[in-house]
Structure 1
Amino acid sequence: MAGRELKWFKSSHSDADTEHSTCVEVALDTRSTAIRDSKAPATGHLTVPHPAWNALLSSLR
């Protein structure tokens, strides 16, 4: 993902009040998922393999 422009997405379930919301944004490429804080995107992002991201989502459901 390094050196590439990422297209970030936020859940449609996120609070519309961006000043008080606590959301993450995700961006996908062919091998991994990038995750960042929507309120502080300049602080960087965490990159994990798709299986790890999918496992996290499954455990939260």
Structure 2
Amino acid sequence: MNQRAQVSIEYLLTIMFGVVLVIAVTIIAFNITKIANKAQAQIVSNKNSVVSTLMS
């Protein structure tokens, strides 16, 4: 019975590790998305500035 309990705990720990890993990857993905959006906004702003400078 002790062996079954140990195997059950090992499966539970593996599942918990997987859940924590999924949460961490999700948080990293959201942060990368935020950084990409900020970079895109900065690029558009710089492009508009360059175009207006060239047009004047």
Normalised by the length of structure 1, the TM-score is 0.23
Normalised by the length of structure 2, the TM-score is 0.25
Higher share of residues assigned helix: 2
- Indicate the structure whose relative CO is greater, using CA pairs within 8 Å and at least 6 residues apart: 1
